Amino acid sequence: MPFDFDLLVIGAGSGGVRLARTAAGLGAKVAVVEGGPLGGTCVNVGCVPKKLLVYASEFPHMAQLAGGFGFDFGSPSFDWSRLIENKNNEILRLNGIYENLLHKAGVEIINGWARFVDAHTIRVNASTFSARYVVIATGGKPFVPHIPGHEHVITSNEVFFLPELPKRVSVVGGGYIAVEFAGIFNGLGVQTELVYRRDLILRGFDNEVRRFVSDQIEQSGVAIRTEETIEEIHKQADGSLQLNYGSGDRGEVDLVLCATGRIPNTHNLGLEPLGVQLKPNGAVLVDEAFRSSVPHILAIGDVIDRVALTPVALAEGMFVAHSLFGETPEPLDYDAIPTAVFCQPNIACVGLTEETAVQKFGTLDIYTSAFRPMKHTLGNDPGRMFLKLIVSAKDQVVVGAHMVGQDAGEIVQGLAIAIKAGLTKRQFDRTIGIHPTAAEEFVTLRQPTRQIR
């Protein structure tokens, strides 16, 4: 029996859309199923709207700096509802762009939630569709611990639609999402605390970077409560929330934002009866070609819980499209993936942390620089920047680059090419810097801060 489609993609997030468009361009008959707005988490409740809110939260700081440069803006006012309305309009515009891209590529859009009927057939609403290949690209969703009162918290999904800006916020978590939103709220004038159960925020990043950025975040006004938990939440008569901490302390806030991780979105897809193997957290288990234990059912993006970054999902989508309908591509390389955290100050890094590099190479040369950026000098801002290069002592290859400071993501993206190419410290040293910039520090670091032997 012929199939309705060569490829059916479940989920129209960044990875799913790229996969569908690329496969259609290679001649496949493709459909994509989506029950929500096009663009997935990144466009609707993730990277894009979050970055817009980060920009908004930086304006008060810029206004403070402006005085040192001769500008006086008086008493600025802020309208949260206008920001959210403008953000919503921009997201709607992007939704339309995604729809046009799919239509122009010849991809059929099926609106609704998919569930497998059998290994080649899914049901959406009252209709069924069959496909030679099915790719699961349903992403992830926020995880909320079931503590007493958890029904009173919100997640990163809801924060973008708050009707008004709260005066006091408790952000629970220590990962990049928690840290970014703590910076957003704090920058907009909200009394903000960050509650994290471990001893240092941003687990997985370089420890020296973690300590530096933690100090800078606290200096900006965020109260960081490490080795602490919230055990109970009680909603009071005036709408405020009473918090009972694990330490025995009590607090009162207007909003609790829970950013304690994300889990793969595989619930209710009907995968288990088909024999599709899942990890304990619900992620689809796939091989190097992104095939599940049922070979014609594949999965990409956050739902496989490999590297939860939009550009990685895009690369995985293109890989699958070409492997199914074009020439077999080279296996994806997950080494030296650049990443950024849009906290305040920003973090960006590529390559290895010092802790990982020591385990891999044993001997290292570490180069660091911490300084107050030029923009802060006239503005009398004590905030500092931090740059770090990690070099293998044996062959002098630069294996890691880390930065804390304004526009870190913009700068480290260029460095990612150098790290990926395996350039040496000598090649960095022979590169002329652009003066006066913070980025030039990466090519003017001459003496190691310390050596690990």
Respond yes or no on whether the N-terminal peptide bond of residue 436 is cis (omega within 30° of 0): yes
DSSP code per residue over 181-202: HHHHHHHTT-EEEEEESSSSSS
Backbone angles phi, psi at 92, to 5 degrees: -60, -40
Q: What is the largest CA-CA distance in the chain?
A: 75
Does residue 120 carry a catalytic annotation?
no
Residue 36 structure tokens = 């929500």
223-226 and 230-235: which strand pairing? unpaired
121-124 and 114-118: which strand pairing? antiparallel
d(CA 164, CA 166): 6
Residue 401 structure tokens = 């680059």
**Active-site annotation holder among 150, 267, 402, 435:** 435
List the one residue out of 388, 386, 387, 393 whose CA is nearest residue 424. Answer: 393
CB 402 within 8 A of CB 433: no
Contacts of 299 (CB under 8 A, 6+ apart): 135, 136, 137, 284, 286, 290, 292
| Eight-state DSSP code of residue 277 | -
Residue with tokens 């503005």: 379
Residue 389 structure tokens = 């290069």
- Let me know how long the chain is: 453
d(CA 93, CA 32): 20
List the one residue out of 293, 291, 289, 290 whose CA is nearest residue 275. Answer: 293
List the one residue out of 263, 264, 282 whose CA is nearest residue 272. Answer: 282
Residue 312's SS3 state is helix
Residue 302 structure tokens = 């956050």
Sheet-wide strand order for 347-351? 339-341, 347-351, 398-404, 385-392, 364-371, 450-452
Residue 137 structure tokens = 């690209």
Contacts of 419 (CB under 8 A, 6+ apart): 336, 350, 351, 398, 399, 400, 401
Residue with tokens 């290859």: 397
List the one residue out of 287, 324, 293, 323 whose CA is nearest residue 306. Answer: 287
Q: What is the set of active-site residues?
A: 435
